[in-house]
Amino acid sequence: MTGRDLLPIAVFALLAACVPLFVTSNVVLNFLVFTLIIALAAQGWNLLGGYGGQYSFGHAAFFGTGAYLTAILQVRYGMNAYPAFAAGIALAALVGLAIGFMAFRSGLRGSYFALVTLAFAEVFRVLANASEVTGGAAGILIRLRADPMNFQFAERGTFLWVAAALVTLALLATLALERSRLGAQLVAVRENEAAAQALGVDVLAVKLRAIVLSAGMTGAAGGLYAQYFLYLDAQIAYGTWISVEALLAPIVGGAGTVFGPLLGAVILHGLAEATKTIAGRIPGIDLVVFGIVLILVVRFPPRDIPGLLKRWRR
């Protein structure tokens, strides 16, 4: 990686660090923290779907696992929030490994892989909704103890710094992957799996590494969500909303690029908030906006907002 590669990430980190110094509105800070959490989950999806071409419809399985284990270890077993957060990431990565091994070993790809991941997310949602350890339908509430030692902060701006730091790490990890041998193999598998295999690429191993990284990063987003909002239920943790947002943000912002998921998350949530301001708090209006944006980027190639802007400038 060169200094030129790192400059945009450094600029993002600097801008994010300056925001809490000038913005005190809780509404704005909430919006930014939530957008960064979605950007982190979307970056996880991007590693597998954007670079590897393995489109998942069920990243909620990883998001919910990271979120639930972070919450359960604190609430049920009294564990400190930081190791609980790390354990959530590790378990999400293991879940990714298990799902990936079963799906890729069976040769599932394309729409079959997408449907399998969706099915796993739904199974997890049903189990979480029925289990006592997750609080069942009532959900699970993390007690508010605002202290940095508990991974809780009295000021929302401090949490924004934490979220921005994690997104910065995710951007650096994605850039490192893009420049690595594994990144090149992933792209080769995405473009032509049979040709990559003929050239000596271990396709199964490459896919498994990608899904483990992807699931771990998405699990981190789930743990961060639990730690910020301090409440979870099955619909939040394993709901289809997070699967949709995790895949839509990279597609809109540019799948298979370092900044695509972050850009897509900002565009989607910015449009959704602007629509709510204009049209009022109509339930589901944000999903309507997401649907319209998705239709536009799918209908008009090159199928992402940066590509559309370049095309209209010509």
| DSSP strands (E only) in the chain | 140-141, 231-232
**Residue-level pLDDT, tens digit, the chain, 314 residues:** 677 778 999 999 999 999 988 888 888 999 999 999 999 999 999 999 999 999 999 999 999 999 999 999 999 999 999 999 999 999 999 999 999 999 999 888 888 999 999 999 999 999 999 999 998 889 999 999 888 999 999 889 999 999 999 999 999 999 999 999 999 999 999 998 889 989 889 999 999 999 999 999 999 999 999 999 999 999 999 988 898 889 889 988 888 899 999 999 998 888 888 887 777 667 777 777 777 777 777 666 666 666 666 666 66
Could you give the CA distance from residue 170 to residue 40 in angstroms, rounded to a whole number? 7
95: number of Cβ within 10 Å: 23
DSSP code per residue over 108-165: --HHHHHHHHHHHHHHHHHHHHH-TTTTGGG-EEPPP---GGGT--SSHHHHHHHHHH
- Residue 231, strand partner residues: 141
Whole-prediction pTM: 0.92
pLDDT of amino acid 304:
66
Q: What's 141's DSSP letter?
A: E
Confidence at residue 301, expressed as pLDDT on a 0 to 100 scale: 60
Cα–Cα nearest to 221, from 239, 244, 246, 253: 246
The DSSP code for 137 is G
**Rounded to an integer, what distance in angstroms lies between the CA atom of residue 128 and that of residue 35?**
25
* 28, 56, 112, 160, 300 from 117: Cα distances, Å: 34, 6, 9, 31, 27
Q: What are phi and psi of 116, to 5 degrees?
A: -65, -45
